Amino acid sequence: MAEFLNIVAIGLLLGGIYSLVSVGLNLIFGVIRIVNFAQGEFVMLGMYGAFAAQVAMGMDPYIAPVVVAPALFALGCVVYWILLRPLQGEPMMQVFATFGLLMVLENVVLALTRGVSLSVNSAAAQISMSLGPVQMPLARILVLVAATVVAGALGWWLRVTLPGKAIRAVAQDRKAARLMGINVERMYMVSFGVGAALAGLAGCLLAPLYSMSPQIGMNFIMPAFAVVVLGGLGSVAGAYVGGFIVGLTEALAGFYLDPALKHAVLFLVFIAVLIIRPAGLFGVAGAEEVGLREQS
């Protein structure tokens, strides 16, 4: 029983990582309807940003988001305005553009670091907590807590604040929002910037857990796509819960079957959910065309 509880704990903590990475990806898709292949690279930039903040300012990676997240927000806004806005109305070209951005960011970081693996230090990464027979690293617990706070705060922001309401209006009916005087392009830019900032936040919190490399973003992007589709396109709650489904599936399959089969099992579950409920567990039919919904 203790062994099973440990595996479940590992799955939940892994799910917290996937949830945190996926929330921003789902926001971008829910508002702009862009499949952002570069989201994993924004996570990678967040990790390197945490490293730079520690080297330059002695900043702990868990404090680094106060610097890194605004920088990634600004980068996301610039990327949208220069790269994606001119391709508005050409969704396939936008997808190709984000894939090109992935390659550019990865190779720029590779050139700057010469492929040398880097890491950051934090006291929290050395601490473990016990809950009965279950051992849980504090660093992973912090990621789980952050995923919960981010999902809740983003849902609140979208429902309660004026910018959030404007973003939801644009996501649900762009033409009507424009007639009401909402600057649609600005809301798209802000949404992409927030999605990039959330990825940067995730990168900072993940930096103590992983050795950094320019290719590390690819470790997160495929599970993140599975999370987004499983949870429901355009649903913040779906991205949060979907992360735990993916994390538990990987942990249980890796332990009870074979670690080499964990991704195969995950995508079998992924296919089964799509067949039974194409809109995802928390999605609404047609959300891929309409965008963020009330269930966000």
Alpha carbon distances (Å) from 1 to 4, 7, 99? 5, 10, 44
Distance of CA 211 to the CA centre of its chain: 19
Cβ distance 16 to 243 under 8 Å?
A: yes
Domain that holds residue 282: 2-290
Q: Is residue 182 part of a domain?
A: yes
Q: What is the pLDDT of residue 286?
A: 52
Q: Is residue 201 part of a domain?
A: yes
Say which residue, 278 or 205, is predicted with more confidence: 205
3-state secondary structure of 91: helix
Q: Is residue 81 part of a domain?
A: yes
Q: What is the pLDDT of residue 233?
A: 78
Q: Give, as one character, the DSSP assignment of residue 121.
A: -
Q: Which range, of 81-85, 198-202, 238-242, averages the lowest pLDDT?
A: 238-242
- Is the pLDDT score of 131 beyond 70? yes
For residue 140, give the CATH number of its domain: 1.10.3470
Q: Is residue 296 part of a domain?
A: no
Encode pLDDT of 98-120 as tens digits: 999 999 999 999 999 988 899 99
* Chain position carrying tokens 């900032």: 197
Q: How many domains does the chain have?
A: 1
Q: Is residue 257 part of a domain?
A: yes
Q: What is the pLDDT of residue 229?
A: 87
State the virtual CA torsion across 171, 173, 175, 177 in degrees, nearest 10: -70
Q: Is residue 295 part of a domain?
A: no
Model confidence band, residue 133 (pLDDT cutoffs 50, 70, 90): confident
